[in-house]
Structures are given as C-alpha cells and as structure tokens.
Amino acid sequence: MEVYNFIDLLKEKTKANIPTAIAIGVFDLVHLGHQQIFHTLLEYSKLNPGTETMIITFNKNPKGSSNLDTIRLREKYLSVFEINSLVVIDFSAEFGKLSASEFIQMLIKLCNLKALIVGEDFHCGTITASAQSFDLKELCNRHHKDVNVIIKSPVLDSHNRKISSTMIREFITRGELELVPQFTLRPYQVDLAPIPSIPSCNSLSFSRKAVMQLLPPPGMYNGALVFTDTTCCNCKVAIDEEFLSLEFYNVNKTALPPFKMIDYLNLFCRSQK
C-alpha cells in the first residue's frame, strides 16, 4: 500500500489517468462498519479489472472529536486490506473552507474516478455548501463525470445498535475497554512510538499531554506493551492527570527489546487490583 499526501498527489498528477475506486472517511480505529466499506471497495475492483483501489482519510477528525488512533496506527490497520493507495488529507482550516462541489472537483482531478464508496452518514463541504452521501452522484454529474456511487448502510451489533466511532468513543470514556474488540477485532491501542519515555526501576512513564489519543478515565488497567519486533510484555497501566505509567512485575528487563523499539500499548480492561 502506497501512502500519499492528498495535495501533493493532486499536484503531481501521478494517478490522474488511472481508473480508481475510492472510499472516503475518517475511518478512525477501522471498526466493522469501516471494514464493510473496504470489502465493498475491493469487490468493486475485482468486478472491474484494471481499477485501482484508494482510501482517502484525514489526519484529524473534521468534527474535532478526540482521536481514537493515529495515522501511523491507521496505516497498520488498513495495510491488511491490500488497498493500492492510502491518501491522507491534512485537514487544515483552509481545507475546511472548501465547498462540497470544490472537494468533488478535486477528487475528479486526482484520478480517473470510477466509483465512490461511502457510509450512509458521509458528508463534506461547509455548512452553507455541504453535501451528503446521497448528493454525490449529482455533484459528479455537474462536473461531467459519471461515477458509480455506492452508499453502505451502517453495520448493527447484536443489540441492533449502529456500530460507530461515537459508540466506541463512549466505551473508552467510561473505561469499558473490554467492549472495544467486539467492534474492531483488536484491543484499544495507544500509539507510544513517537512519545519519549521516562524509565524507572519497575515502570515506564509517558506524559499524558504527549498522548494524542483519547484515554480512559484515571485508574488502573490491564495492558500489554508491544515492540516493533512483535515482542509483547504484560503490564499494569496507571493513568492519572499527568502520566500514563506502565508497571512491570516478574519481568526480566534485560530480555526486553530496547525502549526505542516501543510500538504501541494494548489496553484490555480495568484492573481488579
């Protein structure tokens, strides 16, 4: 999977003439609803040989919600789907001023656009010049481009609730981390690779301010520290207003990889101790 910056790719015109099917969304945490969209994207490509697949996402949530992942982790999650290209939009204040029509025009210039796959709740543009998923077909036609727009209905859980990033965000806010894997197929993960660590005898601490993702409430949690070589070490995770601290017990630290190889932290559930 090749990774591009949206504006750079638009300027370079690398994909301008390549038939492409695109899925667009924030796709934070890549939950089951998102995964359904990606499977549809891949299916379209198989039914239309010669069509490349592209996912367009955002470096931060346009709604301003707390991050559930980082772009680095999202790349890991998306890499398993064998998508041709991942394109990241730097959602700046300037980009946020684009009308829906202007955004669609950019997509048409980006590649030889054949299909758009979006969730039912997709929308783009400003408050006064916005478009929802059901408007996309007409917008493409206005720009003289016939595009196959595929709108996916939400995936529901066993209680008939819509699986969404909002739902998962509420679980994390309440500290109900054990519920997250039902909707993502993985534990909630905190990206620690870019954050300096503060080591001590039996613990490792990180400044809470440096963590760019939503964290559960202060308390003790069960977790596992994962290194870039896939080594995994179970730990207790103490979260307070200043630090995220990992406490290790009965662990031979000399057997662990160097701390510079830290990748991410799995958070499983509240600790009973």
88 in the same domain as 34: yes
122 in the same domain as 61: yes
Q: Is residue 107 part of a domain?
A: yes
- For tokens 């299916």, the residue is 43
238 in the same domain as 123: no
Q: Is residue 158 part of a domain?
A: no
Say if CB 106 and CB 10 are below 8 A apart: yes
Q: Is residue 162 part of a domain?
A: no
pLDDT value of position 249: 78
Q: Is residue 34 part of a domain?
A: yes
pLDDT value of position 196: 94
203 in the same domain as 135: no
Q: Which residue has the higher pLDDT, 26 or 128?
A: 26
Q: Is residue 166 part of a domain?
A: no
The strands making up 2-5's β-sheet, listed across from edge to edge, are: 2-5, 85-89, 52-58, 19-24, 112-119, 148-152
Residue 250 has pLDDT above 80, yes or no: no
Residue 254 pLDDT class (50, 70, 90 cuts) = low
Q: What average pLDDT does range 112-138 have in this prediction?
A: 92
How much of the chain exceeds pLDDT 70, in percent? 98
199 in the same domain as 67: no
Q: 99, 100, 93, 84: which is closest to 1 by C-alpha? A: 84
Count how many domains the chain has: 2
Q: Is residue 165 part of a domain?
A: no
Q: 154 φ, ψ to 5°?
A: -60, 150
56 in the same domain as 111: yes
Residue 129 has pLDDT above 90, yes or no: no
pLDDT value of position 14: 95
Q: Tell me: the pLDDT tens digits for 170-219?
A: 999 999 999 999 999 999 999 999 999 988 878 899 999 999 999 999 99
Q: What average pLDDT does range 25-40 have in this prediction?
A: 97
Q: Is residue 26 part of a domain?
A: yes
- Cα(203)–Cα(113) distance, rounded to whole angstroms? 51
Q: 183 φ, ψ to 5°?
A: -115, -5
Could you tell me the CATH number of the domain that includes residue 234?
Answer: 2.40.30
Domain membership of residue 109 as a residue range = 2-152
Say if CB 58 and CB 67 are below 8 A apart: no
Q: Tell me: the pLDDT tens digits for 138-151?
A: 999 998 899 999 99
Could you tell me the CATH number of the domain that includes residue 94?
Answer: 3.40.50.620
Burial of 240 (0-12, 13-18, 19+ CB in 10 A): exposed
Helix (H, G, I), strand (E, B) or coil at 96: helix
114 in the same domain as 189: no
Residue 110 has pLDDT above 70, yes or no: yes
Q: Is residue 213 part of a domain?
A: yes
64 in the same domain as 131: yes
**What DSSP line would sit under 116-173, residue for residue?**
EEEETT-EEE-SSSEEEGGGHHHHHHHTT---EEEEEPPPB-TTSPBP-HHHHHHHHH
Could you tell me the two tokens for 47?
A: 């039914």
Residue 25 has pLDDT above 90, yes or no: yes
Q: 197, 193, 196, 185: which is closest to 229 by C-alpha? A: 193
146 in the same domain as 17: yes
202 in the same domain as 135: no
147 in the same domain as 35: yes
pLDDT value of position 199: 87
pLDDT value of position 74: 97
* CB contact burial 70-92 (16+ within 10 A = b; e otherwise): bbebbebbbeebebbbbbbbebe
72 in the same domain as 38: yes
Q: Please name the residues in contact with 210: beta carbons below 8 A apart, sequence gap of 6 or more.
A: 195, 196
The partner residues of 9 in beta bridges, in order of sequence, read none
How does the average pLDDT of the chain come out, rounded?
94
